[in-house]
Amino acid sequence: MLLIGVTLAVIGITAYRDMKPVMARRALFAALKPSRLANCTLKRYGSTHDGGYVMCENLMGDAKASYSYGIDGRDKWGCDVSKQLGTTVHEYDCFNLTRPSCERGTFQFHEECIGDQKSIIEGRPYDTLSNQLARNGDSGKHLIVKMDVEGAEWASLLATPDSVLDTIDQLVVEFHGSEEAEFASTIEKLKRHFYLANFHANNFLCSQTFEPFTAWANEVLFVNKRIGVLDPSGAIPNPPNALDAPNNIAAADCQPAF
C-alpha cells in the first residue's frame, strides 16, 4: 500500500508539473485581454507586415522623445514616428549594429540592448530603461516606446520603476513566450499604468501548442491611463484589428478570440 501511495503521489506531482505551463498561459492570456478606447484613432506605424505596429495616432502629440528597442538593421516604425513628431528616435540594438537611415526623420543609434540591470552578457552591453533615459536627458519626458527584443522584454519591463512607466504615453511590445508564471506579473504591473488597447498574434509561429494563445509571439499596444479613455460600452476589440496585418505574408493568420 505504501508503494502504491508513493507512486500515486509521484504521478500527482508529475501531472501538476506538466500543468504549470498550461496554467501560466491561461493566466497570461486572461491578463492580455484588450479593451476598446473611446478616444483612440488607430494608425499603423512601420512596415506593412513584420515590423509594423498599430498605435493611437491622435494620442502621440505630447511625446517629447521616442525609443525603439530591437532594430535588426531596419526601423520603419522609428522613421514614421520621427517624421510625425519631429523628434529624434533613440534606437537600441547590440546584436545587429547596422544603422538604419530615415528620410525626413532622425535617428540616434546605440550599440546597446535593454535589460533588467546594467551588465555585459556574452560581450554585449545591456542597461535599464531608466539608465538609458537618464543618459539621453529624457528622464521625466513624455515618451513613445517600441520594444521587440526576443524575450528580454519581460524582465526589462518588470524592473522598470513605476515613475518611468508613468511617463510613457504609448508602449508597443512584441512579447515572446507565454509559459513562465512571472510573465503575468509583468502584465499586471503594466496594467496599473496602461490600458491594453490592441492585441495581434505574430503568425510566424502559429500552433495549437500554445493554447489559449495561437502564436508564440504577440504584439500588444499599451496606452497610458493618463490619456486613454475606456469605451463606456465595455466592448472587447477581438483581433484582428483592420489595420493589423500578417507578419508572415506567406502563411495564414492565426488570431485568438478573447
pTM: 0.92
- Whole-number Å distance between alpha carbons of 230 and 186: 22
Chain center to CA of 124: 22
Q: Is the bond into 240 cis (omega within 30 degrees of 0)?
A: yes
pLDDT at 239: 83
pLDDT at 218: 98
- C-alpha distances (whole Å) from 144 to each of 14, 22, 42, 59, 64 are 44, 33, 15, 10, 8
State the DSSP string of 79-97. Answer: HHHHHHHTSEEEEE-SS--
Intervals of the chain under pLDDT 50: 6-16
135 in a structural domain: yes
pLDDT at 12: 42
- Residues whose CB is less than 8 angstroms from the CB of residue 35 and which lie 6 or more positions away in sequence, other chains included: 195, 196, 197, 230, 231, 234, 236, 237
229 in a structural domain: no
27 in a structural domain: yes
Residue 177 grid cell: 513566450
15 in a structural domain: yes
Q: Is 190 helix (H, G, I), strand (E, B) or coil?
A: helix
52 in a structural domain: yes
Residue (of 133, 125, 203) closest to 168 by Cα position: 133
Per-residue pLDDT tens over the stretch 202-242: 999 999 999 999 999 999 999 999 999 999 998 888 888 89
234 in a structural domain: no
pLDDT at 2: 53
Residue (of 34, 35, 33, 31) closest to 184 by Cα position: 31
- CATH number of residue 196's parent domain: 3.40.50.150
pLDDT at 223: 98
Instruction: Confirm if 205 and 39 have CB atoms less than 8 A apart.
Output: no
Domain with 75, as residue range(s), is 2-224
The tally of domains found in the chain comes to 1
pLDDT at 3: 52
248 in a structural domain: no
189 in a structural domain: yes
